[in-house]
């Protein structure tokens, strides 16, 4: 097997790294606890990185998933936070794969040019959680259009997005044969919706701009429907493999940042006449985290290769996300331990990354659910309850 990174991907790494150097730790610390990094997102947009997956005919770069994965990894490895903008990468796939020609021609050039943001993904609900088939948000026909009522939660960046991909029930659950039927996807223009759409921020331990969204008689035109009615669950699943792979790239980037911080500090900090990194209690956890990151990285690239070849990659995408999030969390703990008290000091940026990378063991899917997926769908074990 050839493990060489192509020159194109190497060039992308370097270019993204150079851009990120303009947004150092001081910039990110100044955003705490809840200010959105508008300047950073604007710079990424102006350089075309957030339009990487949009085809060239619509003003994007038309790059493959491998490039998107590297972009998000390098953002995180530089100490920046890709969570501020990553949704545009994987939410885009729903429109690219299932949107009509008219929808693509209308929306994609505006997104690629940065005149519109597609950052919000409205799926999860307070009463349904990870059981997507149990969502209660309802879209009903009204003349030529739709009226939507319901509530979404953990809809990150809704306050900073013009468009939202929304999953809603279009056929009552008691009228369907399969629980995955009866759900549809809509592309919602959230601008100037008044009382029909209310967004409330949720304060969290990291600066993630997440919200809950209330839909009260939200009126949508007929052409807001993406793809076929009642087939939305399949469309959402179709995009989840890309989502898992991209999140794995972010985690690997976080892990690289935290490991490099730990190595640098442990090599320079001298106690009892020698660097603390000479002590196995400091050195070994960092080494283990590095090895875990390298293993997760291999699974990430296997998942990317399968995805780009059009081959089934559900198992590999889920395993890559699991392994990478576990490895980045191990790197976070090793880095805090190596820094000692300074690991909790804001100026070192370790505690910020510690908080940011902790999210990915839980979102966008819990690692417990990944283990259940592998156990049941890969290994053929009985369904757990």
Q: Where are the domains of the chain?
A: 7-117, 119-232, 234-378
Beta bridge mates, 199:
213
Superfamily covering domain 119-232: Butyryl-CoA Dehydrogenase, subunit A, domain 2 (2.40.110.10)
CATH 1.10.540.10 applies to domain 7-117: yes
Per-residue pLDDT of the chain (385 residues; tens, 9 = 90+): 678 889 999 999 999 999 999 999 999 999 999 999 999 999 999 999 999 999 999 999 999 999 999 999 999 999 999 998 898 888 888 999 999 999 999 999 999 999 999 999 999 999 887 788 899 999 999 999 999 999 999 999 999 999 999 999 999 988 998 989 999 999 999 998 899 999 999 999 999 999 999 999 999 999 999 999 999 999 998 889 999 999 999 999 999 999 999 999 999 999 999 999 999 999 999 999 999 999 999 999 999 999 999 999 999 999 999 999 999 999 999 999 999 999 999 999 999 999 999 999 999 999 999 999 999 999 999 987 6
Q: In sequence order, which ranges of 47-125 are alpha helices (DSSP H)?
A: 65-77, 87-98, 101-112
Residue with tokens 């939202």: 164
- Say which CATH architecture domain 234-378 belongs to: Up-down Bundle (1.20)
| 170 touches 230 (CB < 8 A) | yes
Virtual torsion, Cα 133, 188, 108, 125, nearest 10 deg: -30
Dihedral angle, C-alpha 279, 250, 322, 257, nearest 10 °: 0
In sequence order, the 6+-apart residues with CB closer than 8 A to the CB of 361 are 325, 326, 329, 367
| 8 A C-beta contact, residue 264 and residue 83 | no
What the block records as the tokens of 203 is: 């304060």
């Amino acid at each position: 097997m050839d493990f060489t990174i192509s020159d194109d991907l190497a060039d992308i790494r370097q270019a993204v790294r150079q851009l990120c150097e303009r947004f150092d730790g001081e910039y990110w610390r100044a955003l705490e606890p809840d200010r959105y990094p508008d300047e950073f997102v604007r710079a990424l947009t102006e350089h075309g990185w957030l339009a990487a997956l949009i085809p060239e005919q619509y003003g994007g770069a038309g790059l493959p998933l491998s490039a998107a994965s590297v972009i998000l990894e390098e953002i995180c490895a530089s100490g920046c936070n890709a969570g501020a903008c990553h949704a545009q990468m994987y939410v885009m796939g729903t429109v690219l794969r299932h949107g009509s020609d008219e929808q693509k021609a209308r929306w994609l050039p505006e997104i690629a040019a940065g005149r519109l943001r597609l950052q919000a993904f409205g799926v999860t609900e307070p009463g349904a959680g990870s059981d997507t088939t149990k969502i209660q948000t309802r879209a009903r026909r009204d003349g030529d259009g739709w009226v939507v009522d319901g509530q979404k939660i953990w809809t990150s960046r809704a306050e900073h997005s013009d468009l939202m991909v929304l999953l809603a029930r279009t056929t009552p659950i008691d009228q369907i044969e399969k629980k995955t039927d009866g759900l549809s996807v809509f592309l919602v223009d959230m601008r100037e919706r008044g009382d029909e759409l209310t967004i409330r921020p949720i304060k969290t331990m990291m600066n993630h701009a997440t919200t809950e969204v209330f839909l009260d008689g939200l009126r949508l035109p007929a052409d807001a429907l993406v793809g076929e009615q009642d087939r939305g669950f399949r469309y959402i699943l179709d995009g989840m493999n890309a989502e898992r792979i991209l999140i794995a790239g972010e985690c690997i980037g976080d892990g690289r940042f935290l490991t490099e911080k730990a190595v640098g500090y442990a090599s320079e900090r001298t106690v009892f006449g020698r660097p603390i990194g000479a002590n196995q209690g400091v050195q070994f956890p960092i080494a283990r985290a590095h090895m875990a990151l390298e293993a997760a990285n291999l699974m990430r690239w296997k998942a990317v290769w399968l995805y780009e070849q059009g081959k089934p990659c559900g198992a590999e995408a889920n395993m890559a996300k699991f392994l990478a999030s576990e490895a980045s969390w191990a790197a976070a703990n090793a880095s805090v331990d190596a820094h000692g008290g300074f690991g909790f000091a804001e100026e070192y940026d370790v505690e910020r990354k510690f908080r940011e990378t902790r999210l990915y063991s839980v979102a966008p899917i819990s690692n417990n659910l990944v283990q259940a997926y592998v156990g049941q769908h890969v290994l053929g074990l009985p369904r757990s309850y």
